[in-house]
């Protein structure tokens, strides 16, 4: 029995290593933050509108406002609208979601995370104000501008907890450590035989290593739904009265939260090292994080805008309103462009990338199946 357990353990390790090696085969010199920006479309948030009977003209106009936010090619919002008439025998999932709303008045809008079993992000009366707060906010405009226009590696959203001394200490630690990491972290070295054509990503010359901090108060009305997305992205965050820091990268993807004493050098370094490190897994779903609702044409902006570190270029729709948050000075640059203005390459996906992704999924699935089979044998033994 002991021999059999030893062999089984080695087999499990071998299967796991096989999966890791399959992932590592496709490691490239493009950092995670840039690959995510160019290659990972933001997941849509299901937005359910519950009602009974015909909607009033004013309610119909609000639903149209939601649908237009999805359809607008100039500034598309990553939401998926579902209008559910409770008098039309909705399916079991919708009935269960409605029961969670209790005796709420109708019509009602419920916003859910994409593909996750977490509680609803937000629910409330269907009105134009709620739709506006869901689809856009000053802070999210600023985050998108820093990521897509200025090419920052990540924007850290800092949310104070309420204790002035603890908040100041945590924010100072965050800013100081990010400034240090800008000077000490390095972008991945190019891999032999690698090119922008084979990777379907932009030229390395536009890559920047830069972090910034955006402070948002918990009682900022314009950010109420944005804050709900952040504070409900993990099960226990909303109940904690502590300072929090959320690194946002790619197309508005939040990696995780650092809370209270967790806002320290070790944890900040770990997060930034992951974001700046080589993208070893091109399949988005195998990476940590959850997307946020953002209103921006990511592909058009990243593919067509000129990256100019010397100016504060503002993309259409990003000029107003002003951002009600504290900001730091323009971040330093470790890896700058070879000229003042560098146009990013296109984002058209290639068959090669699709094949690599499909092969990766198949290999990972085979490894997982092998490991599960071996574990089952152990239990039977």
- Walk along the chain (381 residues) and give the pLDDT tens digit of each residue: 433 323 333 433 343 334 333 344 445 678 999 989 988 999 999 999 999 999 999 999 999 999 999 998 878 899 999 999 999 999 999 999 999 999 899 999 999 999 876 679 999 999 999 999 999 999 999 999 999 989 899 999 999 999 999 999 999 999 999 999 999 999 887 766 555 444 445 555 567 799 999 999 999 999 999 999 999 999 889 999 999 999 999 999 999 999 999 999 999 999 999 999 887 666 777 778 899 999 998 888 876 543 443 344 444 334 334 444 455 443 333 332 222 222 223 323 333 333 444 344 444 444 444 434 433 333 333
pLDDT score of 261: 96
**3-state per-residue secondary structure call for the chain:** CHHHHHHHHHHHHHHHHHHHHHHHHCCCCCEHHHHHHHHCCCCCEEEEEEECCCCCHHHHHHHHHHHHHHHCCCCCECEEEEEEEHHHCCCHHHHHHHHCCCCCCCCEEEECCCCCCCCCCEEEECCHHHHHHHHCCHHHHHHHHHHHHCCCCEEEEEECCCCHHHHHHHHHHHHHHHHHHHHHCCCCCCCCCCCHHHHCCCCHHHCCCCEEEEECCCCCHHHHHHHHHHHCCCCCHHHCCCCEEEEEECCCEECCCEEHHHCCHHHHHHHHHHHHCECCCCCHHHCCCEECCCECCHHHHHHHCEECCCCCCCCCCCCCCCCCCCECCCCCCCCCCCCCCEECCCCCCCHHHHHHHHHHHHHHHHHHHHHHHHHHHHHHC
pLDDT score of 97: 93
Query: What are the extents of the domains in the chain?
Result: 44-135, 138-349, 350-381
- 138: which 2 tokens? 């000053």
pLDDT score of 80: 96
pLDDT score of 327: 53
pLDDT score of 29: 75
pLDDT score of 73: 80
Give the other-Cβ count within 10 Å of 105's Cβ: 8
pLDDT score of 197: 46
Q: Domain 44-135 sits in which CATH superfamily?
A: Glutaredoxin (3.40.30.10)
pLDDT score of 25: 41
pLDDT score of 192: 60
* 131 touches 140 (CB < 8 A): no
pLDDT score of 84: 97
Partners of 258 in the β-ladder: 245
pLDDT score of 220: 95
- 344: which 2 tokens? 């990013």
Could you tell me which residues come within 8 angstroms of residue 359 by beta carbon, excluding any fewer than 6 positions away?
Answer: 22
Q: How far is CA 347 from the centre of its chain?
A: 19
- Nearest Cα neighbor of 216 from 138, 130, 268, 120 is 138
């Amino acid at each position: 029995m002991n021999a059999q357990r030893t062999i089984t353990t080695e087999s499990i390790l071998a299967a796991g290593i096989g999966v890791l090696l399959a992932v590592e085969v496709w490691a490239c010199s493009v950092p995670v933050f840039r690959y995510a920006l160019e290659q990972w479309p933001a997941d849509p948030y299901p937005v359910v509108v519950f009602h009974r009977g015909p909607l009033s003209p004013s309610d119909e106009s609000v639903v149209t406002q939601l649908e237009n936010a999805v359809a607008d090619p100039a500034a598309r919002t990553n939401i998926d609208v579902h209008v559910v008439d409770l008098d039309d025998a909705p399916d079991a999932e919708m009935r269960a979601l409605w029961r969670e709303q209790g005796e709420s008045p109708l019509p009602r809008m419920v916003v859910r995370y994409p593909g996750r079993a977490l509680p609803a992000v937000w629910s409330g009366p269907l009105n134009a104000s709620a739709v506006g707060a869901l689809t856009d906010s000053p802070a999210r405009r600023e985050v998108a501008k820093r990521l897509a226009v200025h090419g920052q590696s990540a924007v850290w959203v800092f949310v104070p907890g309420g204790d002035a001394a603890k908040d100041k200490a945590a924010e100072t630690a965050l800013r100081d450590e990010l400034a240090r990491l800008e000077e000490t972290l390095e972008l991945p070295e190019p891999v032999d035989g690698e090119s922008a054509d084979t990777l379907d990503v932009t030229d390395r010359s536009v890559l920047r290593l830069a972090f910034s901090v955006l402070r948002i108060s918990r009682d900022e009305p314009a950010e109420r739904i944005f804050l709900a997305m952040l504070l409900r992205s993990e099960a226990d965050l909303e109940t904690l009265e502590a300072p929090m820091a959320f690194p946002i990268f790619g197309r508005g993807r939040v990696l995780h939260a650092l809370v209270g004493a967790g806002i320290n050098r070790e944890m900040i370094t770990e997060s930034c090292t992951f974001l700046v490190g080589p993208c070893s897994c091109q399949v988005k779903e195998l990476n940590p994080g959850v997307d946020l609702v953002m209103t921006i044409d990511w592909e058009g902006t990243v593919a067509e805008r000129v990256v100019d570190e010397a100016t504060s270029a503002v993309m259409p729709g990003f000029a107003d309103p002003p951002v009600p948050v504290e900001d730091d000075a323009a971040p330093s640059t470790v890896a700058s462009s070879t000229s003042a203005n560098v146009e990013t390459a296109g984002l058209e996906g290639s068959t090669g990338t699709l094949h690599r992704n499909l092969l990766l999924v198949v290999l990972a699935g085979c490894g997982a199946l092998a490991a599960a089979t071996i574990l089952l044998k152990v239990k039977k033994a």
